Structure 1
């Protein structure tokens, strides 16, 4: 079942990439507790839409989110080394954290996994964005397959500042 508005985000192991720092292993609770966070999920690092449009929008608008006191995290079902290489190739600024959900456990616990087997990708994340305060989901947006509209940086800025 997909996570719902007003539910608490689960606490599971995750690898975090933050700028050029070493890969950190933690659980998700400290990433969300006491913070305002936009978490957006992508089907995969280095995939066309994710690399050309989705992540770059959040990189461009990162300072706007920070100015509103909102942290930004990008989640993908990829290993930490792939996510680190993607962060470097995309010039992701320190503070915009990439979360490597290598086995998809966190994604599955959110109910936001998809079967990408037809494309040789296995289980991946659906394209989504959520806004959470203190670990509690306040808004959730899930894209229809093949679309990028409701989960862009611009859409999320509009959504959380209405």
Structure 2
């Protein structure tokens, strides 16, 4: 799927996690968007999508394990999207290589309306609750 396929003519909340199945991502980040999907859609969001520097098979399995039917799971296997939006990070110190920073963005027809980037080790501004409060 290309970025234009995802964003053209739609209002999309895209959130990124450093890795599928990682603790904060699995316990808080993805479950929050799953829990608040109806409220986000009620505020005009057409699509909720999650991206991570993982392969398509991992993202598919993670989405299924989380019952995240309302969230489009997007693999950024080589980190090309993270790099293109200048939100990559080096997690080599944790044995994870190049990854995506944790963030959420609201994109309206291809234009970023809002961008919420977390500080290192934080989980606040990219949460579903924070995005919902700022729509």
TM-score class, shorter: over 0.9
In structure 2, runs of 5+ residues without a counterpart are none
Is 1:126 paired with 2:101? yes
Q: By how many angstroms is 1:68 displaced?
A: 2.2
Alignment partners' CA distance in 1, 2:83 and 2:89: 9
TM-score, length-scaled by structure 2: 0.96
Greater percentage in helix: 2
User: 1:1-162 counterparts in 2 under 5 A?
Assistant: 26-70=1-45, 71-93=47-69, 95-160=70-135
Structure 1 stretches (4+) deviating beyond 2 angstroms?
none
Q: How much is the aligned-residue C-alpha RMSD, in angstroms?
A: 0.8
- Matched length: 134
SS where residue 91 of structure 1 aligns? coil
Q: By how many angstroms is 1:64 displaced?
A: 1.1
Alignment partners' CA distance in 2, 1:36 and 1:28: 13
> CA offsets, 1:101-142, max 9 Å, x none?
000001100000000100110000000011110010011111
Q: By how many angstroms is 1:27 displaced?
A: 1.2
| Bigger Rg, which one | 1
Q: By how many angstroms is 1:154 displaced?
A: 0.5
TM-score, length-scaled by structure 1: 0.81
